[in-house]
């Protein structure tokens, strides 16, 4: 990591661009060890991007502002249900029009939940948010207006860009007869040879039923945008206020940070991103029911954030990738998936208590603490602690 930092700026930029291109090309390349046998690789990658998005959102709440949220799936559900109602169940809007409403509804839900509960301290917040997540799901289960147990189907897909019959560009719902602007062939990995498989192609920007790669591209684009926004907000006054609140609420308040306002803002921002992810997820699935929003998912999301290293955006992306991808990759051990996942969580917690990639500030603080201790006691007995 330090080597990368030392590189000249253009090289760094080129590195990141290359990485992004690689990420976009991943489902086309279908590299042998990484790709998932038995499950559609594009679909898995789409789910990974959704987890990344959610992890980034939850990271703002848990990592930056230090608010333990066990009901994040509630926001995800509000976003998904708003999109579903507006595009299919009670209206017939196109997806792109419903997205702002879904996001707005989720943000408002975040404010409504946050305004009373953020006055409650730490762990109480955890149980209140957990309750909120369950209430959202149970209301959806029991309300006919929300499609009760049966759920909502025919949710609008994103608009496809296609070549029309007269050769012009058509934007709209994907139709079986129409093809994309161009086709991208996938790679085929044989025994030691790599071939371009012209039979297996992806239509560029046709959001159909089978091929999930365009959804992945959409998801990845949103993730990159949110990453950028996350970078800007973290390095702003708001980001510093969040971290100050997390480290010591009273001290922050004394320094003139209106902590309640900033906690509420963190909650709303997190809800915003969660709602966005929910709406995209609903659109891809085209069908949602309350079982898509079990409490278990809140826990998985939190696991993604904490395992990756809360507070570090790259860490939580890795965490999200692991939580979403590993169970799909090792489907052969289907029965034992949850068991192994649980054992991995325990092992990880014990071996790396700060998460896989703790934020630099945490590492620095630990090091300083250690140095102080050496100064005080005069001998170096906690060498392991310093290496975090």
Partner 1 sequence: MEFDYQFLFSNLPELTITGLAFGAIYALIALGYTMVYGVLQLINFAHSEVFMYGTFATLWTVWALTGTGGGVGGIQLLLILLLGLVMAMATSALIALALERVAYRPLIKKDAPRLIALISAIGASFVLAELMGLRDKVTAWVGLDDDLDRYVSGARINQSMASVVNMPDVNIGGLSIKTVDLLVIAAAIAMMVIVDQFVRRSKLGRGIRATAQDQETAALMGVNPTRTIQYTFLIGGLMAGAAAFLYMLKIETTKFDVGFLLGVKAFTAAVLGGIGNLRGALLGGLVLGVAENWGQALFGGEWRHVVAFVLLVVILLFRPTGLLGESLGKARV
Q: Are 211 and 203 in contact (CB under 8 A)?
A: yes
Whats the size of the chain, residue-wise? 388
Task: Tell me the two tokens of residue 304.
Answer: 């993604």
Nearer to partner 1, 103 or 304 (CB): 304
Q: How far is the CB of 234 from partner 1 (least distance, A)?
A: 19
The whole-angstrom separation of Cα 224 and Cα 204 is 19
135, two tokens: 């209430």
Binding interface with partner 1 (CB under 8 A): 62, 68, 116-117, 119-121, 123-124, 126-128, 130-132, 134-135, 138-139, 141-142, 295, 299, 302-303, 306-307, 310, 335-336, 338-339, 341-350, 353-355, 385
Using the minimum distance from each CB to partner 1, give the nearer residue, 237 or 387. 387
Cβ closer to partner 1: 212 or 310?
310
CA distance 68 to 55: 13
Cα–Cα distance measured from residue 107 to residue 100, given in angstroms and rounded to the nearest whole number:
10
Task: Name the residue nearer to partner 1 (CB basis): 158 or 327.
Answer: 327
**How far is it, in rounded angstroms, from Cα 303 to Cα 72?**
12
Q: What's 181's DSSP letter?
A: S
Closer by beta carbon to partner 1, 58 or else 220? 58
Here the tokens at position 292 are 């898509």
Q: Shortest Cβ distance from residue 310 to partner 1 (Å)?
A: 7
Task: Give the shortest CB-353-to-partner 1 separation in angstroms.
Answer: 3
Q: Which residues contact 67 (CB under 8 A, 6 or more apart)?
A: 61, 118, 125, 263, 266, 267
List own/partner pairs for 131-134 with CB under 8 A and 24 or more apart: 131/71, 132/71, 132/74, 133/70, 133/71, 133/72, 133/73, 133/74, 133/77, 133/293, 133/295, 133/298, 134/71, 134/295
Taking the complex as a whole, the smallest distance from the CB of residue 80 to partner 1 amounts, in Å, to 19
Residue 170 or 388: the one with the smaller Cβ distance to partner 1 is 388
CB nearer to partner 1: pick between 216 and 301:
301
């Amino acid at each position: 990591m330090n080597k990368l930092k030392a590189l000249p700026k253009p090289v760094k930029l080129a590195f990141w661009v290359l990485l992004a291109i690689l990420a976009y090309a991943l489902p086309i390349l279908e590299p042998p060890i990484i790709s998932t046998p038995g499950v559609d690789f594009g679909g898995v990658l789409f789910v990974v991007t959704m987890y990344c998005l959610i992890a980034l959102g939850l990271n703002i709440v848990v990592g930056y502002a230090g608010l333990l949220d066990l009901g994040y799936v509630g926001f995800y559900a509000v976003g998904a249900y708003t999109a579903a109602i507006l595009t299919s169940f009670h209206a017939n809007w196109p997806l792109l029009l419903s997205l702002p409403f879904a996001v707005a509804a989720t943000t408002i839900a975040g404010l409504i939940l946050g305004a009373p509960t953020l006055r409650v301290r730490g762990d109480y917040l955890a149980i209140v948010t957990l309750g909120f997540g369950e209430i959202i799901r149970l209301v959806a289960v029991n309300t006919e207006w929300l499609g009760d147990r049966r759920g909502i189907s025919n949710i609008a897909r994103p608009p496809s860009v296609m070549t029309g019959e007269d050769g012009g560009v058509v934007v709209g719902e994907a139709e079986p007869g129409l093809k994309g602007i161009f086709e991208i062939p996938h790679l085929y990995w044989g025994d030691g040879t790599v071939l371009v498989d012209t039979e297996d192609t992806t239509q560029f920007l046709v959001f159909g039923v089978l091929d999930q790669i365009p959804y992945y591209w959409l998801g990845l684009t949103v993730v990159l945008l949110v990453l950028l926004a996350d970078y800007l907000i973290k390095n702003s006054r708001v980001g510093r206020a969040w971290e100050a609140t997390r480290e010591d609420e009273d001290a922050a308040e004394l320094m003139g940070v209106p902590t309640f306002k900033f906690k509420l803002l963190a909650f709303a921002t997190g809800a915003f991103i969660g709602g966005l992810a929910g709406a995209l997820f609903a659109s891809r699935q085209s069908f949602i029911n309350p079982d898509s929003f079990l409490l278990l998912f809140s826990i998985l999301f939190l696991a993604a954030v904490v395992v990756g290293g809360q507070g570090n955006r790259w860490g939580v992306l890795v965490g999200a990738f692991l939580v979403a991808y590993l169970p799909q990759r090792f489907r052969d051990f289907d029965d034992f998936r949850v068991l192994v996942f649980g054992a991995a969580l325990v092992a990880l917690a014990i071996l790396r208590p700060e998460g896989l990639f703790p934020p630099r500030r945490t590492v620095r603080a630990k090091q300083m603490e250690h140095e102080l201790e050496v100064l005080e006691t005069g001998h170096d007995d906690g060498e392991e602690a310093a290496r975090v």
